[in-house]
Structure 1
Amino acid sequence: MKVVAFGGSDVGKVRENNEDNYLIYNLLKSQEGDIIEPEDTGEGILMVVADGMGGAAAGEKASEIVINTAKSTLIQYAHEKDPDEITFKAIEKAQEVCKSTVKINPEWMGMGSVATYVYIKEKRIYISQVGDTRLYRYRNKTLEQITEDQNLVTELVKIGLITPEQAVYHPQRNAVTQAIGAIENVIPMSYTFDLEVGDKILICSDGLNGMISDIELQLILDCSEDLKEILNMLINTANAYGGHDNITVIIAEILE
């Protein structure tokens, strides 16, 4: 299996600090960075987007914990656990470290992070979701949101109190119901599916999809085959629309 992936993060136009973080890690090469070149990734590739929350530097620390524990968990358990267990173990570890960090730094009480964890191995993708970061699949020129936001407006839509259209502008649209470190018992959502050659995987914080509609995301993906160009267009467009939040994006493609 060959995968190419690019990642980027931008503070946006309003926030002073960037509380987002991300990871792209190829286990075979012990390679980490903004780019995974097209090569054999049969041992597994881990990608994570984390969006921290909390006062002072707490949000930045929380998203950093998510990234660091994700990498260490993959290295520790890649050959011991089933692929669908690894991302759950990473969430458990991040939860533990966030709680212990708050005990040492009580001023960070309430720190937490939402996150989307993605582990790709042998042409299958395993996803664990906490909060409202998102994963989209772009297949055969069609964009589909795979993950479901764990937030208040999603629950209100489910029980029929508001419409999906109202959810977009609802004053509580950023109120998450699950967050690593900020919730006592985190309940992740999981997803898995077989990958096909040509699939593109888009992982993002809500600084992207909060500024750009799914229709516009689709149009951007339609207009280029260059992943680096797509990445830059996504971040630049979110900033052009106001950049109200930190913007973090990973875009990956299955080559063979």
Structure 2
Amino acid sequence: MKASSKTCFDVSTGIDVGARDYQEDCLVADFPMCESYGIGVLADGMGAHASGDMASALVVSQVFAALKMRRNMLKSGDANIPALLKKAVGEANTAMSNFIKNNPDSKGMGATLIATVVRDNQLYWLSVGDSPLYLIRNGEIQKLNEDHSMAPQIDAMVASGQLSAEVAAQHPDRNCLTSAVLGEEIPRIDCPETPMALEPDDILILASDGLQTLTDGTILKLANKTAASSSAVVTQNLMSAVEAAAMPEQDNISVMVLQIDQMPVMSPEPKTERRIETQPVHRSAEEDAILAALVPDIEEAPDIINQAMAL
């Protein structure tokens, strides 16, 4: 027998309306027990007057179900996961376009997106918009994805002396998105071809930009303070800190916290000969039915997510 390790996931989510009148964030986390993979999807809707809440629900349901349908490919070592992520966001964008065509009053709706797949200790991710994806490792915090809004350009103007920090912080264009899922051509999709190797005790945080009421330093401090605790404790402390800040125009906030651990397992010595045969992927009638539902009627989004989660 030979000792090896098994990647384990501790996941928690939190969502709050903040100071807004409605919730435009949506998220789903699916990390099956005893499985070597997991899926996390988060979207922040835009266009309050144009159904931002429906936009985020549509994007999350489409992307999650599209990935879950291909779970056998995600679990296999031969799958091109970046290609699957891009295909999933493409399907969501098409569904958004179809919905807008069938509901002209919804024109202007859209959403940001973070979609992650973790297989064993490998992290694959895709990002559109300004929702942050953080990695906390060895007492340091790193934002993995870039901000697809005007904020980076405005901050660059501060660095060059063209604007003061005070003016930049209140700039009316600061939160204008430069890329989003709108049912049109997506200007920018970030999706690294090479996965990131995760290490024991790593903490991943997926969030809507409402979490950025807190500075990166504060997020790091709160995560480090409770790193030995469960993800649920980390999530609760982050949500409580945003609430305590009591910002009068606090945006919706959604958070998904994923902690990585590894457990030693014993496995037999590998055989000296190995034969691999590729087989076509067959979907069940249940899976075909769910795929057929990936369209138009946004009211079915919760059912789509629940059905996919049950697979």
By the TM > 0.5 criterion, same fold?
yes
Contact 1:55–1:108 (8 Å) recurs in 2: no
Q: Structure 2 length as normaliser, TM-score? A: 0.72
SS at match of 1:116: strand
Cα separation, 1, equivalents of 2:171 and 2:147: 14
Shift of 1:142: 1.1
Residue matched to 2:17: 11
Cα separation, 2, equivalents of 1:21 and 1:140: 30
Cα separation, 1, equivalents of 2:172 and 2:68: 41
Cα separation, 1, equivalents of 2:174 and 2:35: 37
Cα separation, 2, equivalents of 1:78 and 1:186: 28
Shift of 1:204: 0.6
Contact 2:39–2:116 (8 Å) recurs in 1: yes
1:41 aligns with 2:44: no
Contact 1:3–1:40 (8 Å) recurs in 2: no
1:192-232 C-alpha deviation (Å, 9 max, x unpaired): 310111111011101111x1001111111121132212111
Match for 1:241: what amino acid?
A: A
Residue matched to 1:163: 159
Cα separation, 2, equivalents of 1:57 and 1:4: 36
Cα separation, 1, equivalents of 2:246 and 2:175: 17
Instruction: Choose which of 125, 128, 151 in structure 2 pairs with 1:127.
Output: 125
Instruction: Choose which of 53, 60, 74 in structure 1 pairs with 2:53.
Output: 60
Unaligned runs of 5+ in 2: 1-6, 74-78, 263-311
Match for 2:57: what amino acid?
A: E
- Which runs of structure 2 are paired with 1:105-184 in the superposition (5 Å)? 105-157=103-155, 160-163=156-159, 166=165, 167-181=168-182, 183-184=184-185
Residue matched to 2:236: 232
Contact 2:94–2:183 (8 Å) recurs in 1: no
Shift of 1:85: 1.8
Match for 1:88: what amino acid?
A: K
Shift of 1:76: 2.5
Shift of 1:96: 0.6
Q: How many residues align?
A: 240
Residue matched to 1:92: 90
Shift of 1:183: 4.7
Query: Larger Cα Rg: Structure 1 or Structure 2?
Result: 2
1:79 aligns with 2:59: no
Instruction: Choose which of 219, 222, 233 in structure 2 pairs with 1:220.
Output: 222
SS at match of 2:157: coil
1:56-110 C-alpha deviation (Å, 9 max, x unpaired): 3611111101111122111223334412222211211110111111111111101
Shift of 1:239: 1.8
Residue matched to 1:250: 256
Cα separation, 2, equivalents of 1:184 and 1:129: 15
Shift of 1:182: 5.7
Q: Percent identity?
A: 25
Contact 1:180–1:186 (8 Å) recurs in 2: no
Cα separation, 2, equivalents of 1:200 and 1:136: 8
Cα separation, 2, equivalents of 1:72 and 1:195: 25
Match for 1:92: what amino acid?
A: G
Cα separation, 2, equivalents of 1:184 and 1:109: 15
Cα separation, 2, equivalents of 1:6 and 1:88: 25
Cα separation, 2, equivalents of 1:252 and 1:24: 9
Contact 1:46–1:117 (8 Å) recurs in 2: yes
Unaligned runs of 5+ in 1: 30-38
Cα separation, 1, equivalents of 2:134 and 2:234: 14
Contact 1:94–1:181 (8 Å) recurs in 2: no
1:152-181 C-alpha deviation (Å, 9 max, x unpaired): 121344xx4333983544332211100101
Aligned CA-pair RMSD: 1.9
Cα separation, 1, equivalents of 2:140 and 2:169: 21
